[in-house]
Amino acid sequence: MSPARMKNQTRRAKGNGAAAAAMAAVALAAAGYAGITNFLLFHVIAEGITVAIAFAVVLIALNNYRHLRDGPVPILGIAYAFAGCFDVAHILTYNGMGIFPDAGSDLPAQLSIIARYLDSTGMLVAGLSFAIGCQPARVLANYAALSAVAALALYLGDFPAAFVDGQGPTPFAVCSGYAVCIILAAGAALMMRHRDRLRPVVYRQLLAFFLFSGAAEFLLTWDKVICGWEGVAGHLLKAAAFFFLYRAVVATSLREPYELLDERTRALNKSSRRLTEILSSISDGFFVLDNDWRVVYVNPAAAGHGLQVEGQAADKNVFALYPDMQPYREQFIRAKRENAAVHFEAASPGKGGWLEVHAYPSPEGLSVYFRDISEHKRYEAELARLDRLNMVGELAAGIGHEIRNPLTTVRGYLQLFQKREKYAEHREQFATMIEELDRANTIISEYLALARTRVAAPVRGNLNGVLKALYPLLQADALRAGHTLEVAMGDIPVGYIDERELRQLVLNLARNGLEAMQAGGKLTIRTYRDNNGEVVLSVSDTGTGIPRQVLDRLGTPFLTTKENGTGLGLAVCYRIAARHGARIEVDTSPAGTTFTLRFMVGDTVDCETETAPAN
């Protein structure tokens, strides 16, 4: 039992106990007054209370035996069933009742002693059940045998005398009273030893029962006359003791199932709300079908695919409501038939795309979890397409190698024929043919550079050294196109680079920039180290910028805006940058374009630096 539940039960028990105690006090006060004015009425009321509570314990034990059979309650029920019967006989044979006028004073006293022995030993055996366990069937047999022997002894007149008119209780009655007190004390000791098996409020009530019962037995033992003050006080204490027994056993057994049901209902509702919140918060779909294939729950993600519970979907088959789900039917039926989870992929009903579906059967129906894998499917298709393109590219690269050899031969013969006098009138055509062959060779060279997968071993070098080597060539290209060139080389570290590839990258970017500007433009190439420690290479031009529809596709092979361009230059640049662990950033506007390459220092360079003067 949870501490919170025990605390709540204790609080409620205190409140209920206070009200019940007040009512009991009033009842006992009334009974005490009756004991002074009319002892016979008082005796019937006091003993009737104990009998009623005894049989209430019996009813609790009978009706809850299946749930309480391993505890002390069934044993108490057995003991009080027999003790209650002897107490009823005690009331009926009591002097003045007139039912058995020849009974005298001894028979009621004998019946009372038998009843007190039975209920006190019942409390003792109940305490023993905590320690060693007791089988209710065996206890019932023993009590039945003892009760039968006692009843037979009374019938035959062999039971010891308990009360003599004019003398009071016999020594047997006095000793029996003390014996009952000892038995009650032993039961109380066993209960205190195993108090951890009882709730605190029940333990306190049983402890009060033992104390009041012991006091009652002591007073009843010394009642010399039937209606003396000891008898009145003893019966009042006995009634009070049984009131505490009622609170500990009867009231608790009647109240606890409802409290437990209420607590578990609240816990179940809380768990249900938490589960609903979790299912509502996940981005994947979840819905539940009953055994008639009706939708009984959908989370918001599943509702986004058109599933619903209320309205027209409330009492209809899901496959009739959503014809697009017919492909799911066979899988769902298989899951229910085989009572095993099924996993499959299917088209999304109504929304389009693809779903990964997992269906889990249960006795109440089917729980279905799914997630959208449309993007994953697109990735798979794209990977398959790229794989095919890669195969085609490898084939084209091989063919390109083979084509270059005959092209070289043809170019050589064209140059030879161009120099002969008899072909002088065709020299212009030869020059055009040679130019086109050179263009074809350039395209093949760039394509082979793009398709190249073998990476040369990097060597220690510096971007500034690459720019120094290229500066004369870039300067000549700029002058020939009518532009100016500015190269600013900052302090950057030395690293491991492929100088041949970086020369090609710089040449491609620089020539793209020169071709993008009108006459009089300016091309600026800079190297520096930024605040993040990255080595930066930037190539800026003063052209008209890159169109938006082209900007999003930069680096795509064969994409070009130039009349004679191959569309491979930037693709090669992106491949070279990737091999060097660099990233390319593009900033473009109508005032010009800047390509910025950022190299991670930790991956490509060490701590040495090379300083180069600005040109």
Q: How far apart are CA 233 and CA 240, in angstroms?
A: 10
Three-class DSSP category at 168: strand
pLDDT score at 605: 42
Contact (Cβ atoms closer than 8 angstroms) between residue 362 and residue 317: no
Q: How far apart are CA 534 and CA 528, in angstroms?
A: 8
Q: What is the mean pLDDT of each run of 10 residues along the chain (615 residues)?
A: 50 52 55 58 83 89 77 86 90 81 81 90 85 81 92 90 82 89 90 85 88 85 65 82 86 75 82 80 85 86 74 66 80 90 83 84 90 83 69 62 71 79 80 78 64 62 86 87 91 84 86 87 92 89 85 68 66 81 88 89 45 39
Amino acid at 571: A
Contact (Cβ atoms closer than 8 angstroms) between residue 221 and residue 24: no
Amino acid at 352: G
H or E element that contains 572: helix 569-579
Which residues pair with residue 609 across a beta bridge? 493
Q: How far apart are CA 6 and CA 3, in angstroms?
A: 5
pTM of this structure: 0.47
pLDDT score at 147: 92
Q: How far apart are CA 47 and CA 90, in angstroms?
A: 9
H or E element that contains 295: strand 295-298
Nearest to 495 by CA among 613, 612, 608, 611: 608
Which residues pair with residue 419 across a beta bridge? none
- Helix 229-245 with 200-221: angle, nearest 10 deg: 160
